[in-house]
Amino acid sequence: MARYQGGCLCGAVRYRADAAPINERICHCRLCQKAIGAAFNARVLFRIDDVTIEGALATVDSSPDLKRGFCSSCGTTMFSCRESAGIIGITTGSLDDPSLFRPQMHIYTASKQPWVTLDDGLPQYEGAPPPV
């Protein structure tokens, strides 16, 4: 069984990753807020080659060099991908077991919604995170 696995709401798209993540973080940028439809995007970052995706997937270029993947049937957003960097961020809400998520930091907190309180003791960055 894969260490990390998940999929969309309707089950048409599934993914898995056996590798350890590069990092796990929570993004508060406006692009993630819009793409996810929530106050932030909690995600697990992997190397693209470590993730296998099966099913009818659609993508949208949400910013230069960033592609977001979602199910073409139900619309569940499952990842953001920077092919030039070889990385993919899996949304934790699409994991079969979201309790595996262990966030390490908050990024783009300058765009954090004012009603979100960050009192978990994790590092916070107003903009981009430090290089991976």
The DSSP bridge pattern shows strands 4-7 and 51-54 to be: unpaired
pLDDT band, residue 1 (cuts 50/70/90): low
Q: Is residue 123 in a domain? A: no
What is the average pLDDT value for the chain, to the nearest integer?
94
Whether the pLDDT of residue 127 is over 90: the answer is yes
123 to 7, 15, 33, 106: CA distances (angstroms)? 29, 29, 20, 6
For residue 45, the model assigns a pLDDT of 96
Q: Is residue 39 in a domain? A: yes
Q: Can you tell me the mean pLDDT for 99-115?
A: 97
Q: Is residue 71 in a domain? A: yes
Cα 28 from Cα 109, distance rounded (Å)? 6
Q: Is residue 43 in a domain? A: yes
CATH number at residue 30: 2.170.150.70
For residue 2, the model assigns a pLDDT of 61
Range of the domain at 36: 4-107
How many domains are contained in the chain?
A: 1
E strands present in 3-129: 4-7, 14-17, 23-27, 41-47, 51-54, 57-63, 66-71, 77-82, 87-91, 105-107
For residue 63, the model assigns a pLDDT of 87
Cβ pair 95, 6 in contact under 8 A: yes
* Number of residues that make up the chain: 132
Q: Is residue 114 in a domain? A: no
Percent of the chain residues topping a pLDDT of 90: 91
Cβ pair 80, 57 in contact under 8 A: no
Q: Is residue 85 in a domain? A: yes
> Is the model's pTM score more than 0.85?
yes
- pLDDT tens across 12-65, in order? 999 999 899 999 999 999 999 999 999 999 999 999 999 999 999 999 998 888
Whether the pLDDT of residue 130 is over 90: the answer is no
